[in-house]
Amino acid sequence: MNGAEDRGAFTLDDLYAMIPEMQCLPGCTDCCRLFGVPSRTPEEDARIRDYLYAQERSILPAEGTRCPYVSEAGCTIYPVRPLTCRLFGTSPTVLCPRGARPVELLHEDVEAEIHHRYRLFWR
Ligand code: SF4
Ligand code: SF4
């Protein structure tokens, strides 16, 4: 059985939709500058590549602990940022160091389900 069969019709976008919306502090990009290039599945990598190529931009190399896609204005690949970036700050296990939060933090059971489902996208 391959990964696609394990996931059934469940897509990355379905997974992303399980994560609550969160507003960052205006102008803050601290976590993008401190925690390195986010891990991403092959499908997320392909989405980023396609997004960059559609804008005639290039895939950028890592820059130490700084994500190469962060700018003064924020994330420059925001629509296709990977799950790690979407989760950050939304869960009690990855709280924002600046205190930004969604209206309601992820419940641990939902977070566990997200991680469980996300694993299937690495196959
Ligand atoms: S999650 Fe927190 S640290 Fe990261 S950019 Fe948003 S406000 Fe800043
Ligand atoms: S992909 Fe975007 S949100 Fe994620 S670390 Fe890089 S700049 Fe930040």
DSSP string, 109-122: HHHHHHHHHHHGGG
What is the pTM for the complete model shown? 0.92
What ligand has the least distance to the C-alpha of 65?
2
Please tell me the predicted confidence (pLDDT) of residue 4: 52
pLDDT digits (tens, 9 = 90+) for 83-111: 999 999 999 999 999 999 999 999 999 99
pLDDT digits (tens, 9 = 90+) for 29-80: 999 988 888 899 999 999 999 999 999 999 998 878 889 999 998 999 999 9
Q: Give, using CA atoms, the residue closest to atom 2 of ligand 1.
A: 96
**DSSP H or E run through 3:** helix 3-7
Q: How far is the CA of 26 from the centre of ligand 2 (A)?
A: 15
Q: How far is the CA of 61 from the centre of ligand 2 (A)?
A: 13
Please tell me the predicted confidence (pLDDT) of residue 62: 80
Decide: 117 and 11 in contact? Cβ < 8 Å: no
What is the residue range of 14's domain? 3-122
- Per the structure, the count of domains in the chain is 1
Please tell me the predicted confidence (pLDDT) of residue 1: 47
Q: How far is the CA of 46 from the centre of ligand 1 (A)?
A: 25
